[in-house]
Amino acid sequence: MSALLKYSVIHFSLFFEQKISFKIYPTFIIHSVLGKELKQLSCIFRNKECSECPVKFTCPYSYIFETPVKKDDKVFLGRNKAPHPYVISSENYLNEETDNIKLELTMFGETIKYLPYIYYALLKAGARGVFRERVKYTIKEVYVNNCNILKADGNIDMEFEQSRWQLEKPDHEILNDESIIEVLFLSPLRLKYRGKYGEDFKFEDLLNAINRRLAFICYLYGNYNEEIYNTCVYDFEEIERRLKWLDLNYYSSRQKTAIKLGGVIGSIRVKGRFDKSVLSLLKAAELFHVGKNPSFGLGKVKMKIIEVE
């Protein structure tokens, strides 16, 4: 079996009691308040560190935000944490003035069983208020597969089907030699090239990074096949690059200091032969992001296919 991952995309509509302006990247705020409230909601051993907790592999907070791995895990030998089972994104931007947030949460595999915990954690955060001003918000809609799953009694309807992503096997090219693919980096992409984060990476490096991420998350949350690394054949040339580096400020409660989570935004265009495997890789990046810190909302991309007449 090729690489396969079930997933669910959940759309939350958060409405604030007054207009707000984002001085911090919106998904950073959501990541912070969600983690705090989910831990308070889930933790039953408050005197223990997550790494020492006997329920660390099943606790909603630990599973989603800490994501520990077993010491004898063959893929993550030498590591104590794995890629998180979700990504978040938002249509809102820095310094935007608005009274609502459109939040998109993508949950991988069996992680969907924790959706009620996520929902109630977001509810609690809204009741407490966010930012220094403690601005409160309410959740008015929760959509999955174009259906509102927020019931009249305020609970979540979990009777919905998950979507499926699967890595396509190489096939005859489905686009002609004059086809162009444009990849838009909608949130900062943190991708290492020659040991450093920057914008000098090649398009092939991007595809390889997507490949590596998929191997890990499919192994953890879906179906994994080592052939994922050897599936795609690349035959293209880069014809346009419009990239710039964007630094975002983030306060790390763990490190007790402000840090920068910078990355690349903009676009790259390539021309060549693109088979189903390459297109399915790029589709996966649209869904599951790529690069470092995707759980903070970074590494979101969008693919456009441009037919040349």
Q: How many residues does the chain have?
A: 309
The residue whose two tokens read 């079996």 is 1
Per-residue pLDDT of the chain (309 residues; tens, 9 = 90+): 567 999 999 999 999 999 988 888 899 999 999 999 999 999 999 889 998 999 999 999 999 999 999 888 888 877 888 999 999 999 887 778 889 999 999 999 999 999 999 999 999 999 999 888 899 999 999 999 999 999 999 999 999 999 999 988 766 556 566 789 999 999 999 998 888 898 999 999 999 999 999 999 999 999 876 655 555 556 788 999 999 999 998 877 666 677 788 899 999 999 987 878 888 899 999 999 999 999 999 999 999 988 766
What is residue 177's three-state secondary structure?
Answer: coil
Please give the single-letter amino acid code of residue 301.
V
| CA atoms of 81 and 75, how far apart (whole Å) | 11
Of all helices (H) and strands (E), which one includes residue 304? strand 301-306
Q: Which domains does the chain have, with CATH numbers?
A: 4-163 (no CATH), 167-306 (3.30.70.1900)
pLDDT of residue 167: 84
Answer positive or negative: Cα dihedral of 300, 181, 166, 219: negative
pLDDT of residue 228: 53
pLDDT of residue 250: 81
| CA atoms of 102 and 90, how far apart (whole Å) | 6
Q: What are the beta bridge partners of residue 235? A: 273
| CA atoms of 141 and 13, how far apart (whole Å) | 5
| CA atoms of 6 and 67, how far apart (whole Å) | 18
